[in-house]
Each structure stands twice: as structure tokens, then as C-alpha cells.
Structure 1
Amino acid sequence: MERVIGFGGIFFKSRDPKALSEWYRVHLGLDVKPWGGAKIPGSAGMTAWTPFKADTGYFAPSEAPFMVNFRVADLHGLLAALRAEGCQVVGEPQDSEYGKFGWVLDPEGNKVELWEPPAGQ
């Protein structure tokens, strides 16, 4: 199953970069390179940059001041795979005019948003 298919980019601090990179490799399919990062192929389409108010609850239950949004091809299939792999999927998937959204927490409690764009985008 194709998992992450695009994003604009994010850099952040980690308590254990190697372990966190391994989680992203195993569960979201990122090809983490020896230099410590990953390039995601096929990042076509829109990448959003959106500042939120400091008191937003949208990133909850994460306490991090950021949230990564990854473009995915099959949101419901990926969420099912993540659950089967023991990942902590949070909330219920949401469908809107902007596409389908779902969320998972990485091992450090960072909320990751998964976005399947509407057909044709």
C-alpha cells in the first residue's frame, strides 16, 4: 500500500531521532536516508501553510507547537493498517469538501494529520 505521497516539509526537535525516524519508516513508509531525513517523491499538488492561534485545540492531544500534514492516497486503508500495526490512531476520520482527514500519534506524542485530497487534486 502506498502511504505518504507528499508534503511541504517540516523540521522539529526529537528526544530520540533514530527511534523516531524508524517509526516513521515502518509505519508511514518514509525512506529515511543516512543523513537523517527523507525526500518524499511525487509531492504534486497543494501544500498548505497555516498558522493557528496559540490556544488552538486542533493539535490535541499533542502538546507540540506543530503538526505535520502528509498527503496520502488511501486514508481509510492507511488508518486500518496503522491500527493493525499497533499505532495510536486518534479521533474519527473526517470527510469534507477539502478531502478526507485522519490522525495518528507518533511515539513521542506528536499528532500527525493524514490527508487524502478530493478526487482530481
Structure 2
Amino acid sequence: MAKVIGLGGIFFKARDPGALADWYAQHLGLGVEEWGGVRFDDDPAHPGYTIWSPFAADTKYFAPSTQPYMINFRVDDLDGLFAQLQEAGVTMDDQIEDSEYGRFLRIMDPEGTRIELWQPPS
């Protein structure tokens, strides 16, 4: 069975993403990168990493969800998971997106939260 193997990231809306990132850097020591988020390296035995990233409050990136956050999970077999979720009738994008960062599929949970499934590049 294809499955989640880790947390890929937490993405959330903020009134002022830059100021919020600065606060986290100053008070909690997060190493905020130039693009506005933090990349945490994970277990070298599993490909990928974890991202923490504030987005503008009016972002459309989480659409069609109206939730103020989106969760990204790392998965071991995106094609297999796509087939499993499709067979189960889960609401999701029509196809997997390929990019330089890996492969992505976005789905919706029963409460309307956008979930991003990510298979890192090999």
C-alpha cells in the first residue's frame, strides 16, 4: 500500500508573512531563508525535508480550501496513492504535477483542508 512517510511541510496564511518570519527567526531561532520560509533537513534514510512557510493572507494557493493552512505530506509512491485515492472517491486534482522539486498531488480532506502529497525526487 502506498502511504505517507513523513511531514513535508506546513503552510499557513499570515497577515504579514515577512514580519512573522522575522519574529520566528528572532525569538525561536528559525533560519528563515531568502524565499521566506525554513527548510528542515530530515532523516537521510528518507528523501526529502520539511518546510515551514507563511503565505500572504490572500493567497489562492490553498484554493479551493478556505482553511488558513495547508499540510504537505511526503509519500513513498505517488502513482500508487493516486490510484488508491481515486478508487476511494477522494476529491483531488485530475493529475499529478511533476516539477524540479518532485511530484505533487493535491487532495481535499472531508473538512475541506487542502492536502499536498509530495514524492521528492530520487
- TM-score tier by shorter-chain length is 0.5 to 0.7
Alignment-mate amino acid for residue 96 of structure 1: S
In the alignment, structure 1 residue 118 sits paired with structure 2 residue 121: yes
Determine the C-alpha separation between the residues in 2 that align with 1:83 and 1:2. 13
**TM-score w.r.t. structure 2 length?**
0.65
Determine the C-alpha separation between the residues in 2 that align with 1:97 and 1:9. 17
Determine the C-alpha separation between the residues in 2 that align with 1:9 and 1:94. 17
Determine the C-alpha separation between the residues in 1 that align with 2:113 and 2:93. 11
CA RMSD between the two structures: 1.8
| CA contact 2:9–2:51 (8 Å) conserved in 1 | no
The 5-angstrom pairing of residues 101-112 of structure 1 reads: 101-112=104-115
Unaligned runs of 5+ in 1: 11-42
Q: How many residues align?
A: 87
Query: Which has the higher Rg, Structure 1 or Structure 2?
Result: 2
* Secondary structure class of the residue paired with 2:51: coil
**TM-score w.r.t. structure 1 length?**
0.66
Of all paired residues, the percent bearing the same amino acid is 55
* Secondary structure class of the residue paired with 2:97: strand
User: Equivalent of 1:62, from 51, 56, 65?
Assistant: 65
